[in-house]
Amino acid sequence: MVRMVRILTNNGCVSVDPVSKSTARIAGMFDSIAGRYDLLNHVLSAGIDRRWRTRAIRSLQLTGRERVLDLCTGTGDLAIAAVRARVRGWHRDGHRVAFVPTMGNLHAGHLSLIEAARRHGDRFVASIFVNPMQFGPNEDFAHYPRTPTEDERMLAAAATDDEQFHDTKTRQPIT
């Protein structure tokens, strides 16, 4: 059996500390690199990551109504590229695209924004992202209401042309 340990040094003294395998610690490790991951991936791959995404999206030959599920995505680059390609296609076809960003937990006020977007655009895209940056240090980000099933139902009823649901920790789209 292998025992995971981390070596701590303090003024030349070495001590062994068992490595925590807690969910919170592992999530914290991934959260700490998420902001730099895209840049590092791009630099280390010499830009191949972007060319790969472009080719992958092109090879999918999306018609505009598919749902794209980007598994093991990290930061959601492939799903974001799919949405961008779809929107570029709409623009190329002469459509005006309206965008309504939300933090989810949709209600009548959001529906009025959606109706306004429908009046001003030929296509309509909504996003749901509970952005941790919008919360102050004493505000409770963890307890902000999240109702993804109801939000998806409301967006479907509003006949959105595309929806983006983002995980609040990894910031990756969830569709």
Catalytic residues: 110
- Sorted by sequence, the CB contacts under 8 Å of residue 58 that are 6+ apart come out as 85
Residue 19 near residue 6, CB atoms below 8 Å: yes
Distance CA 17, CA 14 (A): 10
Residue 100 has which token pair?
């309504």
Kindly state the tokens that stand for 145: 């209401």
| Beta carbons within 8 Å of 8's beta carbon, 6+ residues apart | 14, 15, 16, 17
Q: Which helix (H) or strand (E) holds 166?
A: strand 162-166
Q: Which two tokens stand for residue 1?
A: 């059996």
